[in-house]
Amino acid sequence: MIKNFYRNKYNAEVRLEGIRLLKATCRNIIRRSREAEGAYGHVKCSFKKANDLFRSIISHKRLFDKWLEQTEIFMEKGNDKCLRPVIDRIDEKGHYYLYNMQVLSLSENASKARKKN
């Protein structure tokens, strides 16, 4: 599943933690996209299942490489919650489509949300 590129660039611990975090993130994206009200009430996802979203992200070299890079930073800094990788929508008015996703740290994502308001 993980290409040699990632094996050579990131150690096994980073890859495993990155996969664990990404699976949890994908489950949260799918859950939020099913909400009818609240901050994500209007946000949809082009994937119906978290596993399909997960597989698409790990197949997308730029996104997954950035995810593992941010995971490595997160781990190097003692699992500082502010540095945890998240999937962000580039256009916050848009939906969770692969072309509208980017990887940010939790603090970068929060900062982006504050600037918007």
| Mean per-residue pLDDT, 90-114 | 93
User: And the tokens for 38?
Assistant: 């609240």
One-letter identity of residue 79 = N
Residue (of 58, 110, 51) closest to 83 by Cα position: 110
Question: For the whole model, what pTM was predicted?
Answer: 0.90
| 63, 57 Cβ separation under 8 angstroms | yes
For residue 2, the model assigns a pLDDT of 59
Write out pLDDT tens, residues 20-39. Answer: 999 999 999 999 999 878 77
pLDDT grade for 58, boundaries at 50, 70 and 90: very high
Instruction: Say if CB 114 and CB 108 are below 8 A apart.
Output: no
Over range 45-71, report the average pLDDT: 96
Residue 100 pLDDT greater than 90, yes or no: yes
List Cβ neighbours of 84 (8 Å cut-off, separation of 6 or more).
21, 70, 74, 105, 106
Task: Locate 23 and state its tokens.
Answer: 């699976």
